[in-house]
Amino acid sequence: MKYFKGITVTIAALLFVLVTQAAAQSTQVGAQSSTGALVNRFHGTWQGDGKTLGMNARLQLKWEPVLGNKFVRLSLRNEMSAAGGKTQVFEGHAYYQRVERGGETRYEARWFDSRGLSFPINAQVDGESLVAQWGSPETEQGKSVYRLIEPGKMEVVDWVKQKDGAWKEFGRSVVVRE
């Protein structure tokens, strides 16, 4: 009888491991389906150089699933070299959520930054790009495009909407996945 108890415990342990692995795989699939295929390819830490507001800039991005895989958080840090060697730092966070409306996949997010501003973001996938329209008439309005230009390499381009309605590019960087 002791032999059968040992087998029963071994089978129970094996079943536990199999169920745990299946649950982990299910969570990964759920994370992919809840955040979207393109945004999943953004996951990770990225870093690179470019220009922001006419200054040399070092851009760092981190895309990660958070809050039970219901959101993807973008953490952004931009270190800009001003005249005279002075460094200006801009930081922000956005929480993106995939939303299905009328058969179309979109992303809604909320942005918070080191200037003390917060505003909505509405984004959509366009090929290999995530195009994010951000801001409001009360704060500022802009557009950021995150485009995969090759595996592990992303171009980030930012525009701000002028008072006359025209778009003005103010930032462009190429970042690579670390």
DSSP track, 109-166: EEEEETTS-EEEEEEEEETTEEEEEEE-TTS-EEEEEEEEEETTEEEEEEEEE-TTS-
| Domains of the chain, residue spans | 1-35, 36-177
H, E, C per residue of 47-111: EEEEEECCEEEEEEEEEEEECCCCEEEEEEEEEEECHHHCEEEEEEEEEEEEEEECCEEEEEEEE
Q: What's the pLDDT score for residue 112? A: 97
Q: What's the pLDDT score for residue 110? A: 97
Q: What is the pLDDT of residues 6-63, one digit of tens each?
A: 443 333 333 233 333 333 333 333 334 455 677 889 999 999 999 999 999 999 999 9
Over 60: is that where the pLDDT of 80 sits? yes
Q: What's the pLDDT score for residue 31? A: 39
> What is the CATH number that goes with domain 36-177?
2.40.128.20
